[in-house]
Structure 1
Amino acid sequence: MKCFLYVFLLGLIGFAQTENVTVTNVKINTEHPHFGLMRIADNKIIFISHLLDKKGRLKRFQGAPLLTIYQGDWSNNGNIENVKAIEIDPKQKISNITSATISPDGKLLYLTTRYTYKNKPKGDFNMDNFHIEVGEFKAGLGWTDFKVLPFCKPRYSYAHPALSKDGKTLYFTTNQRGGKETTKGGSDIFKVDVLGNNTYSNPKNLGSKINSYSREMFPFISDDSTLYFASNKAGGFGGFDIYRSKMGDDGTFEKAVKLPKPINSKKDDFSLIIDANNSTGYFSSKREKGKGDDDIYYFAEN
C-alpha cells in the first residue's frame, strides 16, 4: 500500500509551539474520491465518497456515480476506522451529497445536495445549483424529514455546512449576489445564527479578510474558534490551498494566513479538520503520488 510521509515544522498552523509533524496518506483511500471531512465529535468524523454495493461496485443514478456520507472513528494511529455509510431514509430521494455536518448534540444532519423533482422550487431555477438541507434521525428510518434551509435561494448555490462548537453558528459557502452581503468572487464563506426550529438569521459575509475575488470553500471552525478553509486566490502554491484565520473576541476574523508546505502543495488541498488539542487532524488533497482522486491525509505531532 503506497503512502508517503513528510516531516516538517508546522509553527504557522498556530500550535502552542513549533513541533515536528508527520503527514501520511490514510489507508482507506482508493481510486475513489474522499473529501468533505468534518469532525462531529471528539473521536468521530464524517466524509464524502462514492456509494458502493456489497460487491464494491459503484452505485449510479442516471449513469452518474452516487456520492454519500461515511462515518468513521478518529484513530490515534492515523487511520480512520470502523468506516460505514450513514443511514439515510431512501424515501427522501437524496441521490448525491457533496458535503455534510452533524450538530454537536447529534440530533441534526446538514447536507449539501441538488434539488429533485420532489422538492424543486416553483418557477425558473438552475437544476445544477446546490443547496443545504437539514434532517433528523429516526430509529428504523435513519436520517429523514429533510428540509431546505429557508435562506437558500434557488437561483444561487449553497454548500459546505460547518457548525461552531456550541452549534449556534452555521458557516457555509455560497455565490449569492445583491445587497451588502453579496459574494465577492466565485463563492464566499458566510455565516448565520442558528435560532432553532429551522430558523436562522440573515446570511452574513465573513468579509475581505477571509473572502477574495476567487473561490473560498470547505470551512471548518475549530474548538478555539480558528477558521480553516480552502481558496484558489492568487498567491497560493497552486490549485486550492488551505488557509486559517483566528476569530477575535468581537466575532470578527483576522486576515487569513496560508498554511505552509507540505500541508499545501501544487495541487488542490482543502477540507482540513483538527482535533480539540490542535495536535492531529486530516485534510483532503489531489497531490501527486496519491492513490486515486481526492485522498485523505492525516497529520500529527511527533
Structure 2
Amino acid sequence: MKFLCGILFLFGIVGFPQNEDYHITNLNINTEYPHFGLMYTDNNKIIFTSYLLTKKGKVKKSAGSPVLTIFKGELSNNGEIINVKPISIDPKYGISHITSASISPNGKQLYLTTNYNNKDKPNGNFKATNFHIKVGEYKAGLGWTNFKVLPFCKPKFSYAHPCLSNDGKTLYFIANIRGGKETTKGGSDIFKVEILENDNYSEPKNLGNKVNSYSREMFPFIAADNTLYFASNRPNGYGGFDIYKSEINGEGGFLKAQKMPKPINSNKDDFSFIIDEGNKRGYFSSKRIKGKGDDDVYCFVKN
C-alpha cells in the first residue's frame, strides 16, 4: 500500500482568504519539511510526525532513507506548538520510520505505524512496503519500549493511522483488509477494534459505507463529542484529500460523512484534522498554496 507512504511526501496564513466561520494560521514550527499525523496528548500537549534532524539541521537517514519519527510539543495560548522534542523510543526495537502515532488517554501506551524490519519481519512472503501498528509502553530511562505488533495485523495487508476513543477502549485505524464481510471498499477504509483485557483485541470491523468510500480514507480522529473526522480523496471534493466529519448516532453508529467547508479544506491535500474538547480550536495539515514547503500544520479557531 505504497500510497500510505507516498501521500505523506506528495502532501501563516499570509494572503490566505478567511471566512466568517474559521480563522486559519500557519504555525512557526513549519519548515520545508513535512509535519503531519497530529494527535492531542496529556496536559495540553500534541504529537506529530516529521523528519528527525541532525545537529547540523540535515535530515537524519537510516539505511539510506530519511528517519520519520514522532515529536511532542506544548500548546501555547496563541495556538503555536512550542518546546518541540522527539519522543524517546528504545533503540533496541529499530523503529526508524513512523508515519503516525497515538498515545492512550492514560498515557501508558503508544500506538504507532511503521514497517516491518529485520528484528520483527514475519516468516514467509509479505510486502516489505506494508505498514502495521505496534503498541509499546513507557519506562523511565528507556522511553517507549516493549513494542509488539498488534495481533490482528496480518502481513499481507497494511494498517496505519491509529486513533483512540476518548475512553481508551476503542482503537480506530485505516487498513486495506480484503475478503469477507469487513472487506475494504477502496484503497483504504477506516476500521475499529475493541481493546479487551490482557492485551487482547476484537476482530477489525469496517465502519461501513456511511464513512468509507471506494476511494481512500486516512487519518481518523475521534473528537470529545465522538464526532469522527478523517481525510478522503473521494469524488466531488475540493481537490486532493479533503477533511470530512461523521457524527455518531444514538445507536453508536456513524451518520453519513459530510465534507468540511473552506478554508479548512482547499484544492490541495488537507488531512490530520484534530479539534479540542470545546470544539473551538484545532489543527490540521495541508500542502495548500503559500505554505512554507511541504505539509504544514495550521491552527484554526472558530469565529
TM-score w.r.t. the length of structure 2 is 0.94
Q: Deviations over 1:128-177 (max 9, x none)?
A: 00000000011111100100000000000000000000000000000010
- The 5 A counterparts of 1:105-254 are 105-254=106-255
- 1:297 aligns with 298
Q: Which amino acid aligns with 1:70?
A: F
Matched residues in 2 for 1:117 and 1:85: separation?
23
- 2:20 aligns with 9
* Structure 1 outlier segments of 4+, above 2 Å: 2-7
Specify whether residues 56 and 196 from structure 1 end up closer, same or farther in structure 2 by C-alpha distance, changes over 3 A only.
farther
Alpha-carbon contact 1:150-1:198 (below 8 Å) kept: no
- 1:17 aligns with none
Matched residues in 2 for 1:42 and 1:176: separation?
35
- 1:37 aligns with 38
Matched residues in 2 for 1:266 and 1:3: separation?
16
Report how far residue 75 of structure 1 moved.
2.2
Tell me whether 276-285 or 77-86 shows the greater mean CA deviation: 77-86
SS at match of 2:18: strand
Structure 2: state its 5+ residue gaps: 1-11
Matched residues in 1 for 2:48 and 2:203: separation?
28
Tell me whether 72-81 or 149-158 shows the greater mean CA deviation: 72-81
Report how far residue 55 of structure 1 moved.
2.1
Alpha-carbon contact 2:240-2:268 (below 8 Å) kept: yes
Alpha-carbon contact 1:42-1:275 (below 8 Å) kept: no
Matched residues in 2 for 1:63 and 1:209: separation?
41
Matched residues in 2 for 1:33 and 1:255: separation?
31
Q: Deviations over 1:64-103 (max 9, x none)?
A: 1110000011222020011100000111100100000000
Report how far residue 61 of structure 1 moved.
1.2
SS at match of 1:91: helix
- 1:56 aligns with 57
Alpha-carbon contact 2:271-2:284 (below 8 Å) kept: yes
SS at match of 1:101: strand
- The 5 A counterparts of 1:85-124 are 85-124=86-125
Matched residues in 1 for 2:216 and 2:169: separation?
25
Matched residues in 1 for 2:259 and 2:114: separation?
29
Q: Which amino acid aligns with 2:20?
A: L
**RMSD of the alignment, in Å?**
1.0
Report how far residue 42 of structure 1 moved.
5.4
Matched residues in 2 for 1:226 and 1:6: separation?
27
Report how far residue 197 of structure 1 moved.
2.9
Matched residues in 2 for 1:39 and 1:249: separation?
26
Report how far residue 54 of structure 1 moved.
1.9
TM-score w.r.t. the length of structure 1 is 0.94
Matched residues in 2 for 1:6 and 1:278: separation?
22
Alpha-carbon contact 1:137-1:143 (below 8 Å) kept: yes
Matched residues in 1 for 2:301 and 2:30: separation?
18
Alpha-carbon contact 1:6-1:22 (below 8 Å) kept: no
